[in-house]
Chain A
Amino acid sequence: MKEAASRDAAVVTPWYPTRELPFRGSFVQAMVGATAPGCDSFVVYHCDPWVAPMDATTTQAVEAANGKLVTRAAHRVPTAGGADLVHFPVTTPRGQDYGAQSRNHERQLRAALGNKPIDAAVVHAHVGLPSGWAAVQNARPDAKVFVTEHASFLERVFQDPEAVELYDELLARVTGFFAVGDKVTEVLGKQFPHHADKILRIPNPIAFDVSRTAPVTELRRWLYLGSMVELKGVNWLVEAFAQCHAEDPTLTLTMVGEGPLRKPLTARVAELGLSDAVDLPGSIPHEQALDLMREHDLLVHPSRYETFGMTIVEGIAAGMPVLVTRCGGPEKTLAGIEDAAGELIDVEENAESISDGYRRLRGRFDSSGLDLKRAQEQLAAQYGYEAVAQAHYRLWFPDSP
Protein backbone atom coordinates (compact mmCIF):
# COMPACT_ATOMS: atom_id res chain seq x y z
CA MET A 1 0.00 0.00 0.00
CA LYS A 2 1.20 3.50 -0.81
CA GLU A 3 2.17 5.87 1.97
CA ALA A 4 0.08 9.00 2.38
CA ALA A 5 3.08 11.22 1.71
CA SER A 6 3.98 9.68 -1.67
CA ARG A 7 4.69 12.23 -4.37
CA ASP A 8 2.41 11.04 -7.17
CA ALA A 9 1.52 13.56 -9.83
CA ALA A 10 -0.35 13.56 -13.12
CA VAL A 11 -0.56 16.09 -15.90
CA VAL A 12 -3.57 16.53 -18.17
CA THR A 13 -2.92 18.44 -21.37
CA PRO A 14 -4.35 18.91 -24.86
CA TRP A 15 -0.89 19.94 -26.13
CA TYR A 16 2.22 17.76 -26.18
CA PRO A 17 4.68 17.26 -29.07
CA THR A 18 3.59 14.61 -31.60
CA ARG A 19 4.66 13.54 -35.09
CA GLU A 20 1.79 15.53 -36.52
CA LEU A 21 2.51 18.70 -34.53
CA PRO A 22 6.06 18.43 -33.23
CA PHE A 23 6.08 21.98 -31.85
CA ARG A 24 2.80 21.98 -30.00
CA GLY A 25 3.11 21.78 -26.22
CA SER A 26 6.89 21.71 -26.00
CA PHE A 27 6.48 23.93 -22.91
CA VAL A 28 4.37 21.22 -21.28
CA GLN A 29 7.07 18.68 -22.11
CA ALA A 30 9.64 21.03 -20.56
CA MET A 31 7.54 21.34 -17.41
CA VAL A 32 7.28 17.55 -17.21
CA GLY A 33 11.03 17.21 -17.74
CA ALA A 34 11.66 19.68 -14.92
CA THR A 35 9.21 18.34 -12.35
CA ALA A 36 8.96 14.57 -12.92
CA PRO A 37 12.40 13.70 -11.46
CA GLY A 38 11.28 14.86 -8.00
CA CYS A 39 8.13 12.71 -7.96
CA ASP A 40 7.55 9.06 -7.07
CA SER A 41 5.29 8.58 -10.07
CA PHE A 42 4.32 10.96 -12.83
CA VAL A 43 1.84 10.28 -15.65
CA VAL A 44 1.08 12.67 -18.50
CA TYR A 45 -2.37 12.28 -20.06
CA HIS A 46 -2.13 13.82 -23.50
CA CYS A 47 -5.74 14.27 -24.59
CA ASP A 48 -4.94 15.04 -28.22
CA PRO A 49 -7.83 16.73 -30.08
CA TRP A 50 -8.29 14.87 -33.37
CA VAL A 51 -10.50 17.19 -35.34
CA ALA A 52 -12.55 16.04 -38.32
CA PRO A 53 -15.55 17.30 -40.27
CA MET A 54 -18.36 15.31 -38.63
CA ASP A 55 -22.10 15.80 -38.28
CA ALA A 56 -23.80 15.10 -34.93
CA THR A 57 -24.53 11.43 -35.70
CA THR A 58 -20.98 10.71 -36.88
CA THR A 59 -19.53 12.58 -33.89
CA GLN A 60 -21.48 10.36 -31.52
CA ALA A 61 -20.60 7.15 -33.39
CA VAL A 62 -16.90 8.03 -33.51
CA GLU A 63 -16.79 8.92 -29.80
CA ALA A 64 -18.59 5.69 -28.89
CA ALA A 65 -16.11 3.70 -30.99
CA ASN A 66 -13.19 5.49 -29.39
CA GLY A 67 -14.60 4.62 -25.98
CA LYS A 68 -14.32 0.95 -26.95
CA LEU A 69 -10.88 1.34 -28.50
CA VAL A 70 -9.05 3.60 -26.09
CA THR A 71 -8.27 1.18 -23.25
CA ARG A 72 -6.78 -1.15 -25.84
CA ALA A 73 -4.93 1.45 -27.92
CA ALA A 74 -3.64 3.95 -25.33
CA HIS A 75 -0.46 2.74 -23.64
CA ARG A 76 1.99 4.11 -21.15
CA VAL A 77 5.34 4.94 -22.71
CA PRO A 78 8.33 6.78 -21.24
CA THR A 79 8.62 10.52 -21.76
CA ALA A 80 10.63 13.47 -20.42
CA GLY A 81 12.13 13.33 -16.94
CA GLY A 82 11.29 9.64 -16.41
CA ALA A 83 7.53 10.30 -16.55
CA ASP A 84 5.02 8.04 -18.32
CA LEU A 85 3.00 9.34 -21.24
CA VAL A 86 -0.50 8.18 -22.16
CA HIS A 87 -1.44 9.62 -25.53
CA PHE A 88 -4.97 9.20 -26.86
CA PRO A 89 -7.24 11.11 -29.23
CA VAL A 90 -10.21 13.18 -28.19
CA THR A 91 -12.29 12.88 -31.33
CA THR A 92 -13.65 16.34 -32.02
CA PRO A 93 -16.03 17.70 -34.66
CA ARG A 94 -14.68 20.73 -36.48
CA GLY A 95 -15.88 24.01 -34.95
CA GLN A 96 -16.98 22.54 -31.61
CA ASP A 97 -17.52 25.31 -29.01
CA TYR A 98 -15.09 25.55 -26.11
CA GLY A 99 -17.66 24.51 -23.50
CA ALA A 100 -18.68 21.45 -25.48
CA GLN A 101 -15.01 20.65 -26.11
CA SER A 102 -14.36 20.67 -22.38
CA ARG A 103 -17.17 18.23 -21.68
CA ASN A 104 -15.93 16.11 -24.58
CA HIS A 105 -12.42 15.98 -23.04
CA GLU A 106 -13.94 15.14 -19.66
CA ARG A 107 -15.85 12.15 -21.13
CA GLN A 108 -13.03 10.83 -23.28
CA LEU A 109 -10.43 11.11 -20.50
CA ARG A 110 -12.81 9.16 -18.27
CA ALA A 111 -13.09 6.47 -20.95
CA ALA A 112 -9.29 6.31 -21.27
CA LEU A 113 -9.06 5.86 -17.49
CA GLY A 114 -11.50 2.95 -17.64
CA ASN A 115 -14.05 5.00 -15.66
CA LYS A 116 -11.70 5.30 -12.69
CA PRO A 117 -10.37 8.58 -11.29
CA ILE A 118 -6.81 9.70 -12.02
CA ASP A 119 -4.73 7.91 -9.40
CA ALA A 120 -2.54 10.77 -8.22
CA ALA A 121 -2.53 13.08 -5.24
CA VAL A 122 -1.70 16.01 -7.50
CA VAL A 123 -3.19 16.67 -10.92
CA HIS A 124 -1.83 19.58 -12.92
CA ALA A 125 -3.70 20.59 -16.07
CA HIS A 126 -2.45 22.78 -18.86
CA VAL A 127 -5.01 25.32 -20.12
CA GLY A 128 -8.24 25.83 -18.22
CA LEU A 129 -10.50 24.60 -21.00
CA PRO A 130 -10.62 21.85 -22.03
CA SER A 131 -7.99 20.15 -19.84
CA GLY A 132 -8.52 21.94 -16.50
CA TRP A 133 -12.17 21.00 -16.65
CA ALA A 134 -11.39 17.40 -17.65
CA ALA A 135 -8.90 17.21 -14.76
CA VAL A 136 -11.22 18.45 -11.99
CA GLN A 137 -13.97 16.14 -13.20
CA ASN A 138 -11.66 13.10 -13.26
CA ALA A 139 -9.40 13.72 -10.26
CA ARG A 140 -9.74 11.74 -7.04
CA PRO A 141 -11.93 13.51 -4.47
CA ASP A 142 -8.87 14.03 -2.24
CA ALA A 143 -6.56 15.17 -5.05
CA LYS A 144 -5.21 18.70 -5.36
CA VAL A 145 -5.85 20.08 -8.83
CA PHE A 146 -3.78 22.88 -10.34
CA VAL A 147 -4.15 24.59 -13.67
CA THR A 148 -1.68 26.59 -15.74
CA GLU A 149 -3.32 28.79 -18.34
CA HIS A 150 -1.23 29.48 -21.45
CA ALA A 151 -3.90 30.24 -24.03
CA SER A 152 -3.43 33.53 -25.86
CA PHE A 153 -6.97 33.23 -27.27
CA LEU A 154 -8.93 33.38 -24.00
CA GLU A 155 -11.10 36.27 -25.20
CA ARG A 156 -12.38 34.01 -27.98
CA VAL A 157 -13.02 31.21 -25.47
CA PHE A 158 -15.15 33.54 -23.35
CA GLN A 159 -17.44 34.33 -26.26
CA ASP A 160 -19.03 30.95 -25.54
CA PRO A 161 -21.43 31.31 -22.55
CA GLU A 162 -21.02 27.65 -21.55
CA ALA A 163 -17.24 28.06 -21.52
CA VAL A 164 -17.55 31.06 -19.18
CA GLU A 165 -19.76 29.05 -16.85
CA LEU A 166 -17.36 26.09 -16.77
CA TYR A 167 -14.33 28.34 -16.31
CA ASP A 168 -15.99 30.09 -13.37
CA GLU A 169 -16.67 26.75 -11.70
CA LEU A 170 -13.15 25.57 -12.51
CA LEU A 171 -11.61 28.59 -10.82
CA ALA A 172 -13.72 27.96 -7.74
CA ARG A 173 -12.75 24.28 -7.51
CA VAL A 174 -9.02 24.20 -8.23
CA THR A 175 -6.41 24.29 -5.48
CA GLY A 176 -4.17 26.63 -7.43
CA PHE A 177 -4.45 28.52 -10.69
CA PHE A 178 -1.55 29.97 -12.64
CA ALA A 179 -1.22 32.14 -15.67
CA VAL A 180 1.88 32.49 -17.85
CA GLY A 181 2.18 36.18 -18.58
CA ASP A 182 0.38 39.32 -17.53
CA LYS A 183 -1.89 39.43 -20.57
CA VAL A 184 -3.52 36.12 -19.64
CA THR A 185 -3.86 37.32 -16.03
CA GLU A 186 -5.48 40.55 -17.23
CA VAL A 187 -8.05 38.76 -19.40
CA LEU A 188 -8.94 36.36 -16.59
CA GLY A 189 -9.12 39.13 -13.99
CA LYS A 190 -11.45 41.11 -16.20
CA GLN A 191 -13.73 38.14 -16.87
CA PHE A 192 -13.72 36.77 -13.31
CA PRO A 193 -13.00 39.67 -10.92
CA HIS A 194 -14.29 37.58 -8.00
CA HIS A 195 -11.47 35.05 -8.59
CA ALA A 196 -8.72 37.59 -9.32
CA ASP A 197 -6.88 36.85 -6.05
CA LYS A 198 -6.65 33.17 -6.90
CA ILE A 199 -4.80 33.70 -10.19
CA LEU A 200 -1.05 33.49 -9.60
CA ARG A 201 1.98 33.47 -11.93
CA ILE A 202 4.25 30.54 -12.77
CA PRO A 203 6.84 30.46 -15.54
CA ASN A 204 7.50 27.74 -18.10
CA PRO A 205 10.87 26.05 -17.47
CA ILE A 206 13.79 26.55 -19.87
CA ALA A 207 16.98 24.48 -20.16
CA PHE A 208 20.08 26.63 -19.63
CA ASP A 209 22.57 23.77 -19.42
CA VAL A 210 23.29 23.18 -23.14
CA SER A 211 25.66 25.79 -24.50
CA ARG A 212 26.66 26.47 -28.09
CA THR A 213 30.04 25.33 -29.37
CA ALA A 214 31.20 28.86 -30.29
CA PRO A 215 29.82 32.21 -29.15
CA VAL A 216 28.09 34.50 -31.63
CA THR A 217 30.65 36.80 -33.25
CA GLU A 218 28.49 38.55 -35.85
CA LEU A 219 24.73 38.94 -36.29
CA ARG A 220 24.56 37.34 -39.73
CA ARG A 221 22.28 34.29 -39.48
CA TRP A 222 18.77 35.35 -38.45
CA LEU A 223 16.29 32.87 -37.02
CA TYR A 224 12.54 33.08 -36.54
CA LEU A 225 10.64 30.33 -34.68
CA GLY A 226 6.86 30.40 -34.47
CA SER A 227 3.62 30.20 -36.36
CA MET A 228 3.34 31.66 -39.85
CA VAL A 229 0.42 33.90 -38.99
CA GLU A 230 -0.09 37.65 -39.21
CA LEU A 231 -0.14 38.01 -35.41
CA LYS A 232 3.53 37.04 -35.35
CA GLY A 233 4.59 39.86 -37.68
CA VAL A 234 6.21 37.47 -40.16
CA ASN A 235 5.20 39.57 -43.20
CA TRP A 236 7.11 42.54 -41.81
CA LEU A 237 10.03 40.30 -40.94
CA VAL A 238 10.51 39.22 -44.55
CA GLU A 239 10.33 42.82 -45.74
CA ALA A 240 12.75 43.99 -43.04
CA PHE A 241 15.15 41.18 -43.88
CA ALA A 242 15.03 42.22 -47.56
CA GLN A 243 16.02 45.77 -46.56
CA CYS A 244 18.93 44.57 -44.42
CA HIS A 245 20.00 41.96 -46.98
CA ALA A 246 20.25 44.72 -49.60
CA GLU A 247 22.88 46.35 -47.34
CA ASP A 248 24.62 43.08 -46.41
CA PRO A 249 24.12 40.18 -48.88
CA THR A 250 25.81 37.70 -46.50
CA LEU A 251 22.73 37.76 -44.23
CA THR A 252 20.49 34.69 -44.09
CA LEU A 253 17.10 34.07 -42.52
CA THR A 254 15.57 30.78 -41.38
CA MET A 255 11.84 30.94 -40.64
CA VAL A 256 10.69 27.81 -38.86
CA GLY A 257 6.99 27.11 -38.40
CA GLU A 258 3.74 26.30 -40.10
CA GLY A 259 0.71 28.40 -40.86
CA PRO A 260 -1.42 29.95 -43.56
CA LEU A 261 1.25 32.53 -44.45
CA ARG A 262 3.98 30.01 -45.20
CA LYS A 263 3.07 29.65 -48.88
CA PRO A 264 2.49 33.35 -49.55
CA LEU A 265 5.74 34.17 -47.76
CA THR A 266 7.63 31.59 -49.82
CA ALA A 267 6.24 33.29 -52.93
CA ARG A 268 7.17 36.74 -51.61
CA VAL A 269 10.72 35.57 -50.83
CA ALA A 270 11.03 34.32 -54.44
CA GLU A 271 9.60 37.60 -55.75
CA LEU A 272 12.22 39.51 -53.74
CA GLY A 273 14.93 37.27 -55.24
CA LEU A 274 15.88 36.00 -51.78
CA SER A 275 15.26 32.28 -52.21
CA ASP A 276 18.96 31.54 -51.65
CA ALA A 277 19.04 33.57 -48.44
CA VAL A 278 15.72 32.65 -46.82
CA ASP A 279 14.72 29.15 -45.78
CA LEU A 280 11.20 28.19 -44.69
CA PRO A 281 11.46 24.54 -43.64
CA GLY A 282 8.02 24.27 -42.00
CA SER A 283 7.65 23.07 -38.45
CA ILE A 284 10.26 20.87 -36.81
CA PRO A 285 10.54 19.03 -33.49
CA HIS A 286 11.40 21.18 -30.48
CA GLU A 287 14.80 19.54 -29.96
CA GLN A 288 15.75 20.38 -33.54
CA ALA A 289 14.59 23.96 -33.00
CA LEU A 290 16.91 24.24 -30.00
CA ASP A 291 19.76 22.91 -32.15
CA LEU A 292 18.97 25.55 -34.77
CA MET A 293 19.19 28.23 -32.09
CA ARG A 294 22.73 27.14 -31.38
CA GLU A 295 23.56 27.36 -35.12
CA HIS A 296 22.16 30.87 -35.69
CA ASP A 297 23.33 34.31 -34.57
CA LEU A 298 20.18 36.28 -33.90
CA LEU A 299 16.63 35.44 -32.87
CA VAL A 300 14.15 37.84 -34.44
CA HIS A 301 10.70 37.77 -32.88
CA PRO A 302 8.46 40.52 -34.27
CA SER A 303 5.19 39.26 -32.75
CA ARG A 304 2.26 41.63 -32.33
CA TYR A 305 1.25 39.93 -29.06
CA GLU A 306 2.81 37.36 -26.73
CA THR A 307 1.68 36.25 -23.30
CA PHE A 308 5.18 35.28 -22.21
CA GLY A 309 7.71 34.82 -24.99
CA MET A 310 9.22 31.45 -24.11
CA THR A 311 11.08 31.31 -27.44
CA ILE A 312 12.98 34.45 -26.49
CA VAL A 313 14.19 32.97 -23.21
CA GLU A 314 15.15 29.77 -25.05
CA GLY A 315 17.10 31.85 -27.57
CA ILE A 316 19.03 33.63 -24.83
CA ALA A 317 19.57 30.28 -23.06
CA ALA A 318 21.08 29.03 -26.35
CA GLY A 319 23.46 32.00 -26.39
CA MET A 320 21.66 34.10 -29.03
CA PRO A 321 21.03 37.83 -28.90
CA VAL A 322 17.39 38.68 -29.54
CA LEU A 323 15.58 41.35 -31.54
CA VAL A 324 12.07 41.34 -30.16
CA THR A 325 8.96 43.47 -30.04
CA ARG A 326 7.47 44.94 -26.87
CA CYS A 327 4.30 42.97 -27.39
CA GLY A 328 3.14 42.14 -23.89
CA GLY A 329 5.22 39.32 -22.42
CA PRO A 330 8.78 39.90 -23.70
CA GLU A 331 9.35 43.33 -22.11
CA LYS A 332 8.34 41.87 -18.73
CA THR A 333 10.47 38.76 -19.21
CA LEU A 334 13.52 40.84 -20.17
CA ALA A 335 13.00 43.62 -17.60
CA GLY A 336 16.41 44.85 -16.43
CA ILE A 337 18.40 42.91 -19.04
CA GLU A 338 17.03 44.42 -22.27
CA ASP A 339 20.38 45.80 -23.42
CA ALA A 340 22.33 42.80 -22.17
CA ALA A 341 20.16 40.38 -24.17
CA GLY A 342 19.60 42.33 -27.39
CA GLU A 343 17.20 44.98 -28.61
CA LEU A 344 13.53 45.62 -27.94
CA ILE A 345 11.46 47.40 -30.57
CA ASP A 346 7.93 48.77 -30.55
CA VAL A 347 5.09 46.97 -32.32
CA GLU A 348 4.64 48.97 -35.52
CA GLU A 349 2.91 48.01 -38.74
CA ASN A 350 5.99 48.50 -40.90
CA ALA A 351 9.25 46.79 -41.75
CA GLU A 352 11.47 49.77 -40.84
CA SER A 353 10.97 49.34 -37.09
CA ILE A 354 12.54 45.89 -37.42
CA SER A 355 15.33 46.83 -39.82
CA ASP A 356 16.21 49.97 -37.79
CA GLY A 357 16.21 47.85 -34.63
CA TYR A 358 18.59 45.41 -36.30
CA ARG A 359 20.96 48.21 -37.33
CA ARG A 360 20.99 49.62 -33.77
CA LEU A 361 21.61 46.18 -32.29
CA ARG A 362 24.38 45.37 -34.76
CA GLY A 363 26.01 48.72 -34.01
CA ARG A 364 26.01 48.01 -30.28
CA PHE A 365 27.07 44.39 -30.77
CA ASP A 366 30.02 45.36 -32.97
CA SER A 367 31.21 48.21 -30.73
CA SER A 368 30.77 47.00 -27.17
CA GLY A 369 29.09 43.59 -27.40
CA LEU A 370 26.24 42.47 -25.18
CA ASP A 371 26.22 40.78 -21.78
CA LEU A 372 24.45 37.53 -22.57
CA LYS A 373 25.98 35.78 -19.56
CA ARG A 374 24.31 38.22 -17.18
CA ALA A 375 21.02 37.85 -19.07
CA GLN A 376 21.28 34.05 -18.88
CA GLU A 377 21.99 34.08 -15.14
CA GLN A 378 19.03 36.32 -14.38
CA LEU A 379 16.68 34.26 -16.54
CA ALA A 380 17.94 30.90 -15.22
CA ALA A 381 17.14 32.00 -11.66
CA GLN A 382 13.53 32.50 -12.71
CA TYR A 383 12.95 30.07 -15.59
CA GLY A 384 15.60 27.36 -15.20
CA TYR A 385 14.44 23.76 -14.67
CA GLU A 386 15.50 23.71 -11.03
CA ALA A 387 13.81 27.02 -10.19
CA VAL A 388 10.55 26.03 -11.88
CA ALA A 389 10.58 22.51 -10.43
CA GLN A 390 11.02 23.88 -6.91
CA ALA A 391 8.17 26.34 -7.47
CA HIS A 392 5.90 23.44 -8.44
CA TYR A 393 6.98 21.22 -5.55
CA ARG A 394 6.26 23.97 -3.01
CA LEU A 395 2.70 24.08 -4.32
CA TRP A 396 2.15 20.38 -4.93
CA PHE A 397 3.78 18.94 -1.82
CA PRO A 398 3.86 21.74 0.76
CA ASP A 399 4.70 19.25 3.52
CA SER A 400 7.80 17.92 1.73
CA PRO A 401 8.84 20.46 -0.93
Chain B
Amino acid sequence: MQVLFLALGASRKRAVVEESAEVVARGGRAVVLVGARKPWLDQGFEPGVELLTADDLEARHLPRRLERMVLYRVPRLVVRVAGRGPLAGKAKRALKAYERRVAARLHRRVFVPLHRRVWPRVSDRLVWRHFGPRKGPELLVVADALSVPRAVQLIQAWESDGLAVPRVCYGIDSDVSPQTPQTSAAR
Protein backbone atom coordinates (compact mmCIF):
# COMPACT_ATOMS: atom_id res chain seq x y z
CA MET B 1 0.00 0.00 0.00
CA GLN B 2 1.24 3.49 -0.86
CA VAL B 3 0.70 5.86 2.05
CA LEU B 4 1.22 9.60 2.15
CA PHE B 5 1.62 11.12 5.61
CA LEU B 6 0.99 14.87 5.78
CA ALA B 7 3.02 16.13 8.71
CA LEU B 8 3.60 19.78 7.91
CA GLY B 9 3.21 20.99 11.50
CA ALA B 10 5.61 18.44 13.04
CA SER B 11 3.54 18.37 16.23
CA ARG B 12 2.76 14.63 16.38
CA LYS B 13 6.13 13.14 15.52
CA ARG B 14 5.90 9.96 17.55
CA ALA B 15 2.70 8.89 15.79
CA VAL B 16 4.17 9.65 12.34
CA VAL B 17 7.42 7.78 13.01
CA GLU B 18 5.61 4.75 14.43
CA GLU B 19 2.90 4.56 11.80
CA SER B 20 5.24 5.08 8.83
CA ALA B 21 7.48 2.32 10.22
CA GLU B 22 4.47 0.03 10.42
CA VAL B 23 3.51 0.72 6.81
CA VAL B 24 7.04 -0.18 5.67
CA ALA B 25 7.12 -3.26 7.92
CA ARG B 26 3.91 -4.47 6.25
CA GLY B 27 5.58 -4.17 2.85
CA GLY B 28 4.04 -0.82 1.93
CA ARG B 29 5.53 2.47 0.85
CA ALA B 30 5.47 5.39 3.29
CA VAL B 31 6.14 8.94 2.15
CA VAL B 32 6.14 11.65 4.82
CA LEU B 33 5.59 15.16 3.52
CA VAL B 34 6.98 17.70 6.01
CA GLY B 35 7.24 21.48 6.11
CA ALA B 36 10.95 21.41 6.92
CA ARG B 37 13.47 18.63 7.49
CA LYS B 38 15.11 20.08 10.57
CA PRO B 39 12.50 19.16 13.23
CA TRP B 40 12.62 15.56 12.01
CA LEU B 41 16.37 15.01 11.88
CA ASP B 42 16.61 13.27 15.27
CA GLN B 43 13.46 11.18 14.87
CA GLY B 44 14.99 7.93 13.67
CA PHE B 45 12.69 7.03 10.81
CA GLU B 46 12.66 3.39 9.80
CA PRO B 47 14.85 2.72 6.72
CA GLY B 48 12.61 2.83 3.69
CA VAL B 49 10.45 5.70 4.92
CA GLU B 50 10.79 8.64 2.50
CA LEU B 51 10.96 12.13 3.98
CA LEU B 52 10.01 14.87 1.52
CA THR B 53 9.49 18.62 1.60
CA ALA B 54 7.33 20.64 -0.78
CA ASP B 55 10.55 22.20 -2.05
CA ASP B 56 11.96 18.77 -2.96
CA LEU B 57 8.89 18.09 -5.08
CA GLU B 58 8.70 21.49 -6.73
CA ALA B 59 12.38 21.24 -7.68
CA ARG B 60 11.34 18.57 -10.21
CA HIS B 61 9.16 21.00 -12.17
CA LEU B 62 10.74 22.21 -15.43
CA PRO B 63 10.75 25.95 -14.56
CA ARG B 64 12.48 25.17 -11.29
CA ARG B 65 15.00 22.93 -13.05
CA LEU B 66 15.69 25.82 -15.44
CA GLU B 67 16.08 28.15 -12.50
CA ARG B 68 18.61 25.79 -10.96
CA MET B 69 20.50 25.65 -14.21
CA VAL B 70 20.63 29.44 -14.55
CA LEU B 71 21.39 30.20 -10.93
CA TYR B 72 23.78 27.37 -10.10
CA ARG B 73 24.90 25.11 -12.92
CA VAL B 74 25.92 27.75 -15.44
CA PRO B 75 27.94 29.82 -12.93
CA ARG B 76 29.65 26.61 -11.70
CA LEU B 77 30.52 25.67 -15.26
CA VAL B 78 31.90 29.13 -15.93
CA VAL B 79 34.05 28.96 -12.81
CA ARG B 80 35.30 25.49 -13.71
CA VAL B 81 36.32 26.62 -17.22
CA ALA B 82 37.55 30.14 -16.51
CA GLY B 83 38.89 29.76 -13.01
CA ARG B 84 41.93 27.62 -13.75
CA GLY B 85 45.53 28.06 -12.71
CA PRO B 86 46.34 30.88 -10.30
CA LEU B 87 42.71 32.11 -10.41
CA ALA B 88 41.28 28.84 -9.13
CA GLY B 89 41.18 29.77 -5.42
CA LYS B 90 39.72 33.22 -5.99
CA ALA B 91 37.13 31.89 -8.43
CA LYS B 92 35.95 29.22 -5.99
CA ARG B 93 35.62 31.76 -3.18
CA ALA B 94 33.71 34.11 -5.49
CA LEU B 95 31.40 31.28 -6.55
CA LYS B 96 30.68 30.36 -2.92
CA ALA B 97 29.92 33.99 -2.06
CA TYR B 98 27.70 34.32 -5.13
CA GLU B 99 25.72 31.18 -4.28
CA ARG B 100 25.24 32.23 -0.67
CA ARG B 101 24.52 35.92 -1.16
CA VAL B 102 22.88 36.06 -4.57
CA ALA B 103 21.62 32.68 -5.82
CA ALA B 104 20.15 31.42 -2.52
CA ARG B 105 18.43 34.74 -1.85
CA LEU B 106 17.02 34.95 -5.37
CA HIS B 107 15.76 31.38 -5.07
CA ARG B 108 14.10 31.98 -1.72
CA ARG B 109 12.76 35.47 -2.21
CA VAL B 110 11.95 35.57 -5.92
CA PHE B 111 11.77 32.19 -7.65
CA VAL B 112 9.91 30.12 -5.03
CA PRO B 113 7.11 32.70 -4.47
CA LEU B 114 6.91 33.44 -8.18
CA HIS B 115 6.77 29.75 -9.05
CA ARG B 116 3.98 29.15 -6.54
CA ARG B 117 2.05 32.15 -7.88
CA VAL B 118 2.37 31.20 -11.53
CA TRP B 119 1.86 27.42 -11.04
CA PRO B 120 -0.18 27.24 -7.83
CA ARG B 121 -1.43 23.71 -8.43
CA VAL B 122 1.69 22.07 -9.74
CA SER B 123 2.71 20.94 -6.27
CA ASP B 124 -0.63 19.09 -5.87
CA ARG B 125 0.03 17.08 -9.02
CA LEU B 126 3.67 16.49 -8.12
CA VAL B 127 2.65 14.98 -4.77
CA TRP B 128 0.33 12.56 -6.56
CA ARG B 129 2.87 11.71 -9.28
CA HIS B 130 5.57 11.03 -6.71
CA PHE B 131 3.82 7.69 -6.18
CA GLY B 132 4.00 6.79 -9.85
CA PRO B 133 2.62 8.19 -13.09
CA ARG B 134 -0.72 6.36 -12.90
CA LYS B 135 -1.44 5.21 -9.38
CA GLY B 136 -1.04 7.97 -6.79
CA PRO B 137 -1.23 7.33 -3.03
CA GLU B 138 -3.80 4.82 -1.77
CA LEU B 139 -4.08 6.29 1.71
CA LEU B 140 -3.65 9.85 2.93
CA VAL B 141 -2.89 10.15 6.65
CA VAL B 142 -3.46 13.66 8.00
CA ALA B 143 -1.09 13.77 10.94
CA ASP B 144 -1.37 17.20 12.56
CA ALA B 145 -3.54 20.30 12.73
CA LEU B 146 -1.49 22.41 10.32
CA SER B 147 -1.72 19.69 7.66
CA VAL B 148 -5.52 19.72 7.59
CA PRO B 149 -5.96 22.65 5.12
CA ARG B 150 -3.30 21.16 2.82
CA ALA B 151 -5.10 17.82 2.87
CA VAL B 152 -8.35 19.46 1.80
CA GLN B 153 -6.50 21.38 -0.92
CA LEU B 154 -4.84 18.20 -2.26
CA ILE B 155 -8.11 16.24 -2.31
CA GLN B 156 -9.95 19.04 -4.12
CA ALA B 157 -7.12 19.43 -6.67
CA TRP B 158 -6.92 15.69 -7.35
CA GLU B 159 -10.69 15.45 -7.71
CA SER B 160 -10.82 18.34 -10.17
CA ASP B 161 -7.91 16.84 -12.16
CA GLY B 162 -9.75 13.52 -12.37
CA LEU B 163 -6.99 11.74 -10.44
CA ALA B 164 -7.79 8.84 -8.11
CA VAL B 165 -8.36 10.23 -4.61
CA PRO B 166 -7.00 8.04 -1.81
CA ARG B 167 -8.79 7.01 1.36
CA VAL B 168 -8.25 9.58 4.09
CA CYS B 169 -7.78 9.09 7.83
CA TYR B 170 -6.20 10.71 10.88
CA GLY B 171 -3.99 7.72 11.69
CA ILE B 172 -3.48 4.25 10.26
CA ASP B 173 -5.33 2.71 13.20
CA SER B 174 -8.53 4.41 12.09
CA ASP B 175 -8.15 3.53 8.43
CA VAL B 176 -10.96 1.45 7.04
CA SER B 177 -9.78 -0.96 4.35
CA PRO B 178 -11.61 -0.96 1.00
CA GLN B 179 -13.16 -4.35 1.86
CA THR B 180 -14.83 -2.93 4.97
CA PRO B 181 -18.05 -1.03 4.33
CA GLN B 182 -17.36 2.58 5.35
CA THR B 183 -19.67 4.12 7.89
CA SER B 184 -19.95 7.80 8.53
CA ALA B 185 -19.07 8.95 12.03
CA ALA B 186 -22.68 10.02 12.43
CA ARG B 187 -25.46 7.49 12.81
Contacts and interface: CB of A to CB of B under 8 A. Distances in A.
A281 to B, nearest CB: 13
A243 to B, nearest CB: 34
B185 interface: yes
Contacts of B170: 48, 73-74, 87-89
Given A73-B170, A77-B174, A88-B170, A54 B185 contact: no
How would you classify the secondary structure of chain A's contact residues: helix, strand, loop or mixed? mixed
Contacts of B171: 18-19, 87
A76 interface: yes
A43 B169 CA distance: 18
Interface in B143-166: 144-146, 148-149, 151-152, 155
A294 B11 CA distance: 33
B148 A91 contact: yes
B142 A69 contact: yes
Contacts of A116: 186-187
B12 interface: yes
Nearest to B169: A73
Contact of B173 (A43, A50, A54, A77): A77
A271 B15 CA distance: 32
Given A19-B15, A52-B9, A113-B185, A74 B174 contact: yes
Nearest to A59: B145
B19 A112 contact: no
A262 to B, nearest CB: 14
A74 B14 CA distance: 20
A3 interface: no
Interface stretch (A60-68, A330-338, A366-374, A382-390): A60-68
Interface string A32-74: 0000000000010100101110100010011001101111111
Contact of B182 (A45, A70, A75): A75
7 closest residue pairs by CB, A with B: A119-B187, A114-B186, A20-B15, A19-B15, A65-B149, A52-B145, A91-B145
